[in-house]
Amino acid sequence: MAYGVLVPSKIMATNVETLNRTAVSGSDIENGMVFRLDSYSTGSGQGEVFSVTQAATGSLVNIWMAYSPEIVTLYAGNSAYKGIDLDPRNFYTKAGDMIDAFKPQPGDLILASADLFTGARTAEGYAALATGTWQLAWNSNHPADALAFKYLATEYITIASGSAIASQRVAAYKLVCLAN
């Protein structure tokens, strides 16, 4: 299964600590997935770790986006092996593991692979948070009171394979954050 790839090209969170958080989820989370961080986790030893919740109707702003270092973990029984697979499309954060997240701000530029969206993009000019999913959904208009991005261009993310560097290109969308 291919997971989404996120490249935060220019984001305010790079220079502002309060726009970065550590969280934990009861679900597997891919980079680029979106969620709320409204309270601390109640897990043992997780005093400053936030609890991930899926956005629901009426809570589509103040949204956070997963962006953890893409060190793929391979699981075999009770063992976990990190860094063996270099393909970021195989990266996700397993339920119960720590997630790094940032809060998208108006003006932030990101590059997101097609796997991060519900449905395929046709002519829609906007991507926004939808309820009942961890992903962004394509929209023909800029929804009010929701995390929203404007589509700028279709680009590619180069993924190195084990045998040939820069041999694989993955379609991705350049987006600018309009609201959160």
What are the domain boundaries of the chain? 6-179
- Pick the more confident residue, 164 or 3: 3
| Whole-Å CA distances, 158 to 27, 134, 171 | 28, 25, 9
Q: What is the pLDDT of residues 13-41, one digit of tens each?
A: 988 999 999 999 999 999 899 999 998 88
Positive or negative, the CA dihedral 180, 22, 19, 85 is: negative
Q: What is the pLDDT of residues 131-160, one digit of tens each?
A: 888 999 998 888 878 899 999 999 988 876
Ranges 41-50, 82-91, 157-166: which has the least confidence: 157-166
Q: Record the pTM.
A: 0.88
* 5: amino acid identity, one letter: V
* pLDDT confidence bin for 56, thresholds 50/70/90: confident
The confidence score (pLDDT) of residue 121 equals: 82
